[in-house]
């Protein structure tokens, strides 16, 4: 059963692997695909606001094939591996039935699917958070030294992958120290190893602390209780770039809400039946604390400093949240209630996953646009791109490479912001012209914005449009006469 869920998870994630690079991926690709190891680490320190391990794996992966695809392999593999790993953690903490349901929830989570196809560090952080939690539980239960080594290494790598993973590590250390004080020597050695392993990065952390990424988040999102609930819901069942009303939609949200209510009822039934909450030594308590770790930790950080409460920063707690939800459903005493709650959650996640995989909601299709230009260019055509982010045209190198990263052949590529852009003066007098532009209502009404002199020189041949979060069109022109 777990193998089947893992294959399901891999299948739905493979569906989005070939999408074009988009957003922050372009910054990672600029570093991972173009620099040697030393230069890569130096650029991470100087230009990024995250630690280097999330760049190291893609840097190695781009050597394996088409770098615009293989750069995502670490996220694909680790994002898929979270499914069986969550099951193993669940078996040791909340029981086999809840473990199986939690693994199913992770396989279908729309948010987990999206970031398993994202080259950034979020799937890696999630995997390492589950691995470190499982290793800690096994170290305490089996007393085997090897599991202490796995725990220390995995916890340290969480810190080297993304700063928001620190809340999971803090919760793990705090729970173990309180619940297993009799194991203080092993705990002290393991956590000393984590601290010592992280010390070399501290000077770089200080440099990155001046980064403006948190300030950029704060400019378009304020931290509010209502917003926190919304962002947390997106991190489980939503799409990172669409409203909850669009994906998964109101019906799926209602079903998911019913499932959550059933899980809460199941937890209350469980506590009432046992007439006590689980003791602090219970590993189920650790899972519950990890589920709360990043939502609560990022919330406190956002109240005290800059707002960082966005769904992707909560990723490390997602598998634990899935296990807690599953445990609550399993605790319902009536089989009909369990089936109803489980069905509501699975259907809601299925709807969300389907909408996430819909090409209309996928990353902007610059890969397809580049492939068409590769195919149709008769030799030396001019390619003019209206960039997805006009404010960054010819300014931000990474964000200007939507097309360039995906070309299989060399083309003369220019970027323009408008028909009046001076960039048009650099278009040579070739017989063929391609204009690649985000597709919007204005283009549907009057075609792509060309300067009058080019409208006179070229005749329109064909155009093609691909769907996505931002649909992209290629217009092909040939010289008149």
Cα angle 407, 412, 417; round to 5? 95
- Percent of the chain with pLDDT strictly greater than 90: 74
Q: Is residue 305 pLDDT above 90, yes or no?
A: no
> What whole-number distance in Å separates Cα of residue 284 and Cα of residue 277?
11
For the segment 448-458, what is each residue's pLDDT rounded down to a tens digit? 667 888 888 88
pLDDT at 276: 62
pLDDT at 81: 98
Mean pLDDT of 335-363: 95
Q: Are 65 and 45 in contact (CB under 8 A)?
A: no
Cα angle 22, 28, 33; round to 5? 105
| Stronger pLDDT, 298 or 215, i.e. the higher one | 298
Could you tell me which of 328, 242, 233 has the C-alpha nearest to residue 288? 328
The strand order across the sheet containing 472-479 reads 412-415, 382-385, 432-438, 472-479, 458-466
> What whole-number distance in Å separates Cα of residue 124 and Cα of residue 128?
6
For the segment 75-113, what is each residue's pLDDT rounded down to a tens digit? 999 999 999 999 999 999 999 999 999 999 999 999 999
Cα angle 177, 197, 169; round to 5? 40
Q: Are 390 and 423 in contact (CB under 8 A)?
A: no
> What whole-number distance in Å separates Cα of residue 148 and Cα of residue 140?
8
CB-based burial of residue 156 (10 Å sphere; 0-12 exposed, 13-18 middle, 19+ buried)?
Answer: buried
Q: How many helices (H) and strands (E) does the chain have?
A: 22, 5
| Per-chain mean pLDDT for the chain | 91
Q: Is residue 446 pLDDT above 60, yes or no?
A: no
Model confidence at 394, pLDDT cuts 50, 70, 90, reads: low
pLDDT at 458: 87
The H or E element spanning position 438 is strand 432-438
Determine the straight-line distance between the first and last CA of the chain, rounded to whole angstroms: 66
pLDDT at 137: 98
The H or E element spanning position 31 is helix 24-32
pLDDT at 442: 52
Model confidence at 122, pLDDT cuts 50, 70, 90, reads: very high
Mean pLDDT of 138-164: 97
Question: Poorest-confidence range of 6-20, 184-198, 297-311, 387-401?
Answer: 387-401
| pTM over the 0.75 mark | yes
pLDDT at 449: 65
For the segment 265-277, what is each residue's pLDDT rounded down to a tens digit? 998 888 777 656 6
pLDDT at 275: 59
Model confidence at 152, pLDDT cuts 50, 70, 90, reads: very high
Question: Poorest-confidence range of 32-36, 72-76, 288-292?
Answer: 32-36
pLDDT at 416: 86
Q: Which residues pair with 382 in a beta bridge?
A: 412, 433
pLDDT at 441: 53
For the segment 190-223, what is each residue's pLDDT rounded down to a tens digit? 999 999 999 999 999 988 887 655 556 656 677 8
């Amino acid at each position: 059963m777990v193998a089947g869920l893992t294959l399901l998870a891999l299948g739905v994630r493979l569906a989005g692997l070939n999408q074009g690079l988009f957003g922050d991926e372009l910054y990672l690709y600029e570093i991972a695909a173009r620099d040697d190891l030393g230069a890569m680490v130096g650029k991470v320190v100087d230009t990024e606001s995250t630690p280097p391990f999330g760049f190291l794996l893609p840097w190695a992966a781009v050597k394996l094939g088409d770098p615009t695809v293989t750069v995502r392999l670490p996220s694909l593999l680790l994002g898929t591996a979270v499914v069986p790993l969550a099951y193993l953690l669940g078996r040791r903490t909340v029981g086999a039935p809840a473990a199986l349901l939690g693994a199913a929830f992770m396989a279908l989570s729309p948010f987990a699917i999206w970031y398993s196809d994202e080259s950034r560090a979020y799937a890696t952080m999630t995997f390492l958070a589950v691995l470190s939690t499982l290793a800690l539980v096994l170290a305490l239960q089996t007393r085997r030294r090897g599991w202490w080594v796995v725990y220390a290494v995995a916890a340290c790598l969480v810190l080297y992958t993304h700063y928001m993973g620190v809340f999971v590590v803090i919760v793990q250390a705090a729970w173990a120290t309180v619940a297993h004080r009799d194991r203080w020597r092993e705990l002290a050695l393991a956590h000393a190893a984590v601290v010592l392993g992280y010390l070399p990065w501290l000077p770089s952390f200080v440099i990155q602390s001046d980064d403006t990424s948190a300030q950029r988040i704060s400019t378009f999102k304020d931290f509010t209780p209502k917003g926190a609930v919304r962002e947390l819901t997106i991190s489980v069942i939503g799409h990172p770039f669409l409203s909850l009303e669009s994906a998964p939609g109101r019906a799926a949200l209602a079903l998911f809400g019913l499932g959550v209510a059933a899980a809460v009822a199941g937890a209350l039934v469980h506590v009432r039946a046992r007439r006590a909450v689980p003791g602090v030594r219970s590993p189920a308590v650790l899972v519950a604390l990890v589920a709360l770790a990043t939502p609560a930790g990022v919330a406190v950080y956002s109240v005290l400093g800059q707002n960082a409460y966005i769904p992707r920063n909560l990723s490390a707690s997602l598998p634990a949240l899935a296990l807690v939800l599953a445990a609550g459903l399993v605790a319902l005493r009536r089989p009909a209630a369990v089936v109803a709650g489980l069905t509501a959650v699975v259907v809601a996640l299925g709807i969300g996953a389907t909408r996430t995989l819909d090409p209309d909601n996928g990353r902007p299709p610059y890969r397809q646009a580049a492939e068409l230009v590769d195919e149709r260019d008769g030799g030396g055509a001019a390619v003019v791109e209206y960039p997805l982010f006009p404010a960054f045209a010819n300014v931000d190198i990474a964000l200007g490479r939507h097309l360039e990263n995906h070309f299989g052949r060399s083309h003369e590529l220019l970027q323009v912001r408008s028909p009046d852009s001076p960039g048009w003066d650099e278009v040579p007098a070739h017989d063929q012209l391609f204009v690649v532009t985000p597709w919007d209502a204005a283009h549907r009404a009057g075609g792509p914005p060309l300067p009058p002199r080019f409208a006179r020189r070229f005749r329109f041949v064909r155009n093609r449009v691909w769907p996505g979060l931002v649909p992209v069109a290629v217009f092909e022109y040939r010289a008149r006469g």
